[in-house]
Structure 1
Amino acid sequence: MAVTVETLEKLERRITLTLAATVINSEVESRLKKLARTVKADGFRPGKVPMSFVAQRYGAQVQYEVVNDKLGEAFSVAANEAKLRVAGMPSIAQKDEAAEGELAFDATFEIYPEVKIADLAEAEIERVSSDVTDEAIDKTVEILRKQRRSFAQRGAADVAADGDRVSIDFEGKIDGEPFAGGKADGFQFLLGEGQMLEAFEKAVRGMKAGESKTFPLAFPEDYHGKDVAGKEADFLVTVKKIEAQHLPEVNESFAKALGIKEGTVEALRADIKKNLEREVKFRVLAKNKGAAMDALVGKAELDVPKSLVAGEAERMVANAREDLKKRGIKDADKAPIPAELFNDQAEKRVRLGLVVAELVRSQNLQAKPEQLQAHIEEISQSYEKPAEVVRWYLSDRERMAEVEAVVIENNVTDFILGKAKITDKQLPFDELMATA
């Protein structure tokens, strides 16, 4: 039987589904009979409840279920018959008019779009690279030293200097009135490391333990505390304690404390370099992948199904609530997060997904078994027991699906970069690491 498909707007389509009343009634009766075998009711033995009682109590619910099931089947058959790739769930509404003995419904839905990708040879992409320098290794060593620093109290005559840890009491007022967050006792911070506003650090620098000082402080216009941003406060600060920091020397003891088996500074620097190179590789790949995907979408022409965007936005809301839950927010699953907040991002994700899927299909860029294995083995190298990590991935379908998605993205990226006009750019290590 031919299915008539009505085009409404762009990707929106409508078909009419009909169900024979006799088929519905027969299925309802069959299900009610099965239900009667297990229904319990006062005054009746199990399996002996009258059908009239079962029909009265459960008839409407069973009929609703049957109609839904039959509509699902009818829609699937009709969509297959019309060779439609349905995007999202259909919206089904019963029609007022129908032939005698039938129920008629309109099913309104969207279909997947035709994706047209222009010549990628015309796309222009800036491909970045970066190297791990000795300076980068030196900075990492300094970070590791600071993580293991110790402090010793200074003498009464010593003044606070950069690098010292100071303990202070302070109170700030705006127009003579205290403000939220403007007071603390026994507050600690490290001078010269940007933990406080520069004007605050400047005032404390040079003070002695037991000394007090009053000074003005202008909060920046873009200060995170909106209530005080752009305003000027007067602070009273008292230095309670000054501690000088001691950084451990970079020697064999330091290397061993960091888990370097060889216990040498050379082995420590080699280990740091290896880890930094892994991070650099990841960040470079991410930046180049992003540039390639942007170029791909820029060369694609398609309409995006609204239903898919709505579904993606709802998933993003669910993820946001889950993130709040992990942070310990009470009733996070009920947080009033409008899906509209994510519409633009959801639209971009859906658009990219459709374009990537078309390129994968048309260019046979699916993940090969050897690529999956190689990717898992590469991931495992950053763990102490690589073989266990490999088994952990191979034993779970969901984890393997995640690996497959990454490999496919890499295949797509390589394909695009192999076609586009490439401009290579060497990024300084610090600039690369500062990129989100």
Structure 2
Amino acid sequence: MQVNETLNEGLKRGYAITVTAAELDAKVNEKLAEAQPEVEMKGFRKGKVPMALLKKQFGQRIMGEAMQESIDGAMAEHFEKSGDRPAMQPEVKMTNEDWKEGDDVEVEMSYEALPEIPELDMSKIKLEKLVVKADDAAIDEALANLAETAQDFKARKKGSKAKDGDQVVMDFVGKVDGEAFEGGSAEDFPLVLGSGNFIPGFEEQLVGVKAEEEKSVTVTFPEEYQAEHLAGKEAVFDCTIKEVKEPVAAEINDELATKFGAEDLAGLKAQIAERLEAEYAGAARAVMKRGLLDALDKMVDFDLPPSLLEAEASQIAHQLWHEDNPDVQGHDHPEIETTDEHKTLATRRVRLGLLLAEIGQKAEVEVSDAEMSQAIMAQARQYPGQERQFFEFVQQNQQMQQQLRAPLFEDKVVDHIAEGAKVTEKEVSKEDLQKAVEALEDAE
């Protein structure tokens, strides 16, 4: 077997691979010999079929397998000896298309090699970590928001009309064709108007009612209603309004705290402070990560595989086009051209991606099964009621797994680099942190 270099220009590589007819024949004979003990053929005992007959019967099929294995073996041996790592799947094609049995097999292989990544002295990286403490004003604001979500209702003045968002306490009896139906009646039922908890059209008809008023509400059950005997039927609900209540924020006290799982108000405030500071830390980490990536981008420079740059620039252009054209969901759109801006951004992303991958590999950074499961479940929550199907889809889809694993791996590598860098903490206000985060978004 011969492997001769035909191209060595930058990161581009080309090789001519020749598998001689003798080598190929030997490979075929080897595979037939392996199979011979298990072969049965009329007129011969198992394992006693002559090689010449086996070759005549199965030689053509095995020849194809032998060709593929020989070429794959030559490629694997080449990469092991050269140390090259292809940036993308090598392009392989047979050059003697008029090949016939007895001829050598001639193959052309071309690829772009991944570049040599320079070693980094991480101690030379200087980073600033913003620190924000949860002050009383932020805690009080969060408490007020919680009180809004835990709203109570208090009775409106006698004679007040119900508004959207009010709670109406009522008795009602539902009838279809004049007959009350099971599950269609209730007493002292509290209904928040506009909540969408009742049949479409029901709550809207109660806007404007007053306490002690009687109101007939006529609605039609949806065709796909869960109770088949009511689906698509018109129903009349005779409602007796007992109270009309307006929403009010819950009082900020120990009782509110217990609703959110705290022992008392002081305990709730401590929980809020902890949650706020965790949010601040997450935002500060994003700011520091950008600073780290900017520092790495300035520290290193190496040749990049043109195919990776082209693919990344195309993906960036495609993504940005869809952001500007959100109504277009599929790919039935004009061809999207890449600009110099797309190529500049692609250069940064590819360079940093290769650098982080190299550092992570050398540091033996790995994403655990538990971390992957957490990431999958976090994504699955975006599809309520279909979490199991999503989980199974990801398990069977290697590309989707890689999409979820990549950011986890990147974050772990960033943390590894930050551990070796010189990090100084700087205490700032919540507003200053917000400005830093907004600056990140503007730079994207």
TM range (shorter): 0.5 to 0.7
Structure 2 partner of 1:209: 208
Query: How many percent of aligned residue pairs carry the same amino acid?
Result: 22
Q: Residues of 2 paired with 1:402 and 1:265: CA distance?
A: 38
So what's the TM-score if we normalise by structure 1? Answer: 0.54
Question: How far is the alpha carbon of 1:257 from its aligned partner?
Answer: 2.3
- 1:267-314 per-residue CA deviation (whole Å, 9 max, x = no partner) reads 111122122222222221121112210232144322322455688899
1:431 partner amino acid: Q
Amino acid at match of 2:19: L
* Structure 2 residues without counterparts, runs of 5 or longer: 169-191, 197-206, 210-242, 317-328, 375-401
Q: CA deviation at 1:21?
A: 1.8
CA contact (8 A) 1:296 1:416 kept: no
The one-letter amino acid of 1:136's match is A
2:73 aligned residue? 73
Give the Cα separation in 1 of the matches to 2:83 and 2:40: 46
Q: Which amino acid aligns with 2:284?
A: V
* 1:109 positional shift: 1.0
Q: Secondary structure, in 3 states, of the residue corresponding to 1:89?
A: coil
Once residues 293 and 437 of structure 2 are traced to their aligned partners in structure 1, the CA distance between those partners, rounded to angstroms, is 21
Q: Is the 8 Å Cα contact of residues 14 and 111 (structure 2) preserved in structure 1?
A: yes
1:64 aligns with 2:69: no
One-letter amino acid of the counterpart of residue 286, structure 2? A
Does the CA-based 8 Å contact 2:6-2:16 persist in structure 1?
Answer: no
Q: Secondary structure at the match of 1:13?
A: strand
Asked if 2 retains the 8 angstrom alpha-carbon contact of 1:117 and 1:300, the reply is: no
**1:48 & 1:153 partners in 2: Cα distance?**
98
8 A contact 1:166–1:189 mirrored in 2: no
Residues 65 and 145 of structure 1, relative CA distance in 2, 3 Å threshold: farther
- Which residue is equivalent to 1:413? 418
Q: Does 1:272 align with 2:277?
A: no
Closer/same/farther in 2, CA of residues 267 and 101 from structure 1, 3 Å limit: same
User: 1:95 Cα shift?
Assistant: 2.4
The aligned residue for residue 25 of structure 2 is 25
What CA RMSD, in Å, does the superposition of the two structures yield over aligned residues? 5.8
Matched to 1:273, the amino acid is A
Shift of 1:265: 1.0
Going from structure 1 to structure 2, the CA distance change for 1:12 and 1:270 (only over 3 Å counts) comes to: same
The 10-residue stretch of structure 1 (37-46 or 75-84) with the greater mean CA deviation from structure 2: 37-46
Equivalent residue letter for 1:277: E
Residue 408 (structure 1) shift: 3.1
Within 2, Cα distance between the matches of 1:341 and 1:44?
Answer: 66
Cα shift at 1:76: 2.3
Q: Partners in 2 of 1:105 and 1:19 — Cα distance?
A: 8
Take 1:310 and 1:347, find their aligned partners in 2: how far apart are those partners? 9
Unmatched 5+ residue regions in structure 1?
168-185, 191-207, 211-240, 317-331, 380-397
Residues 4, 38 of structure 1: alpha-carbon distance in 2 compared, 3 angstrom cutoff: closer
Aligned mates of 1:432, 1:257 — CA distance in 2: 34
Q: Cα–Cα, structure 1 residues 253 and 73, in superposed 2: closer, same or farther, change >3 Å?
A: same
Alpha carbons 2:153, 2:167 under 8 Å: kept: no
Partner residue, 1:132: 134
Are the counterparts in 2 of residues 27 and 66 from structure 1 also a CA contact under 8 Å? yes
Indicate yes or no: 2:430 matched with 1:431: no
Give matches, 1:232-247, under 5 Å: 244-247=246-249
For 2:194, give the aligned amino acid: Q
Shift of 1:148: 2.1
In structure 2, give the amino acid aligned to 1:22: A
Q: Does 1:296 align with 2:302?
A: no
| Counterpart in the other structure of 2:257 | 255
Distance in 2, matches of 1:66 and 1:2, equals: 16
The code of the aligned residue for 1:132 comes to A
Q: Quick one: distance in 2 between partners of 1:85 and 1:406?
A: 24
Q: Which amino acid in structure 1 is aligned with residue 69 of structure 2? A: D
Secondary structure of 1:104 counterpart:
strand
Sort the Cα spacing of 1:313 and 1:73 in 2 relative to 1 into closer, same or farther, 3 A.
farther
Q: TM-score, normalised by structure 2?
A: 0.53
Amino acid at match of 1:140: A
Q: Tell me how far 1:130 sits from its aligned partner.
A: 2.5
State the partner residue of 1:104.
106
Task: Name the amino acid aligned to 1:95.
Answer: T
- Contact between 1:129 and 1:427, CA under 8 Å: does it hold in 2? no
Q: Distance in 2 between matches of 1:405 and 1:36?
A: 51
**Structure 2 vs 1, CA of residues 114 and 60 (structure 1 numbering), >3 Å: closer, same or farther?**
same
Which AA in structure 2 matches 1:18? T
Secondary structure of the equivalent of 1:288?
helix
Structure 1 residue 119, shift from structure 2 partner: 10
* 1:161-196 residue CA offsets vs partner (Å, 9 max, x unmatched): 9x95599xxxxxxxxxxxxxxxxxx98389xxxxxx
In structure 2, C-alpha distance between the alignment counterparts of 1:242 and 1:41, rounded to whole Å: 91
- Write out per-residue CA displacement over residues 130-181 of structure 1, whole angstroms, 9 at most, x where no aligned residue: 33222221222223223322446756854789x95599xxxxxxxxxxxxxx
Question: Structure 1 pair 118/348, CA: closer, same or farther in 2 (3 Å)?
Answer: same
Contact 1:156 1:209 in 2 (8 A): no
Matches within 5 A, 1:210-229: none
Q: Which one has the largest radius of gyration?
A: 2
Deviates more, 1:25-34 or 1:243-252: 25-34
What code does the residue aligned with 1:111 have? A
Q: Deviations over 1:19-41 (max 9, x none)?
A: 12222223234435655776899
Could you say if the C-alpha distance between residues 336 and 403 of structure 1 is closer, same or farther in structure 2, counting changes exceeding 3 Å? closer
Give the superposition deviation at 1:13. Answer: 0.6
* 1:413–1:124 Cα change, 3 Å: closer
Residues 426 and 404 of structure 1: CA distance in aligned 2, closer, same or farther (over 3 Å): same
* 8 Å Cα contact 1:19-1:103 kept in structure 2: yes
Q: How many residues are matched?
A: 323
1:188 paired with 2:194, answer yes
1:368-383 to 2 correspondences below 5 Å: none
